[in-house]
């Protein structure tokens, strides 16, 4: 997850002025959240397959570091589910806290979000936590990971001579190309910007101050300057 001050500030201002300016473009209008499609792309993964892919990755992600404290997990789930309810997400979502000193949060396709205890300590205001979770919810709602995996598959197929691609009249689509590491690095800067923009809308629609995204960024930026090699 890469926060950028300029994008979050611009997104915050756009959301706060959308109604005053009577903006009608679905992408820019928080009133149209839930009634628009944000995950438009060529995608080899039906939503059921995307959920199963994310479920497999989530099962293997830090299974021994899961936080069991009900007060912590219920708080994160309450904030996350509230934001998800006011997002463009069409599928259920699961939030899990994992032990870790570094501030980190990761979203797997199909509705699985993991946040470290280090990130919870950093984002100690509820508005900040909502902004951070909203960013990850936006990645899932827009199906960024499977869109990028599909793009990579298409590029590979285009690079293969046509004679070797055809197999009994069918084109083999290597769905198994997706690995956790590859997918995490596949997210483009454009995807990050889109998640920033949508995430601010979602936290605002859920009743949180969208400037929480700005303060969360400022905290992480200070931490990055203090310890650039240890920042995630």
Residue 199 forms part of a structural domain: yes
Residue 16: what pLDDT? 54
What pLDDT, on a 0 to 100 scale, did the predictor assign at position 210?
Answer: 86
Which structural domain range is residue 206 located in? 5-219
Q: Report if residue 139 sits inside a domain.
A: yes
**Tell me, what's the pLDDT at 73?**
98
Asked whether residue 58 is domain-assigned, the answer is: yes
**β-sheet bridge partners, residue 167:** 170
The total number of structural domains in the chain stands at: 1
Residue 128 lies in a domain: yes
* Helix, coil or strand: residue 39: coil
**For the chain, which ranges sit under pLDDT 50?**
1-3, 5-6, 20, 163, 165-178, 229-232
In a domain, 161, yes or no: yes
Q: Is residue 198 part of a domain?
A: yes
Q: Give the C-alpha distances (Å, rounded to integers) separating 77 from 13, 72, 133, 147, 172.
A: 27, 9, 10, 26, 40
Q: Is residue 224 part of a domain?
A: no
In-domain check, residue 228: no
- CA triple 204-208-213, angle to 5 deg: 80
């Amino acid at each position: 997850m890469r926060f950028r001050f300029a994008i979050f500030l611009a997104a915050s201002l756009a959301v706060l002025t959308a109604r005053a300016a009577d903006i009608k473009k679905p992408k820019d209008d928080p009133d149209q959240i839930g009634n628009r499609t944000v995950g438009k792309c060529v995608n080899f993964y039906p939503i059921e397959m995307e959920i199963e892919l994310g479920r497999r990755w989530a099962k293997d992600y830090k299974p021994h570091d899961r936080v069991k404290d009900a007060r912590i997990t219920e708080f994160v789930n309450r904030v996350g589910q509230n934001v998800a309810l006011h997002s463009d997400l069409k599928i259920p979502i699961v939030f899990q806290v994992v032990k870790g000193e570094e501030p980190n949060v990761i979203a797997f396709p199909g509705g699985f979000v993991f946040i470290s205890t280090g990130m919870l300590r950093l984002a100690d205001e509820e508005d900040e936590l909502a902004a951070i979770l909203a960013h990850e919810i936006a990645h899932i709602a827009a199906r960024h990971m499977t869109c990028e995996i599909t793009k990579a598959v298409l590029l590979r197929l285009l690079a293969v001579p046509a004679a070797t691609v055809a197999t009994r009249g069918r084109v083999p689509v290597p769905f198994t190309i997706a690995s956790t590491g590859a997918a995490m690095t596949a997210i483009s800067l454009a995807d990050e910007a889109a998640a920033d923009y949508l995430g601010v809308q979602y936290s605002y629609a859920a009743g949180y101050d969208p400037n929480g995204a700005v303060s969360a960024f400022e905290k992480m930026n200070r931490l990055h300057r203090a310890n650039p090699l240890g920042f995630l």
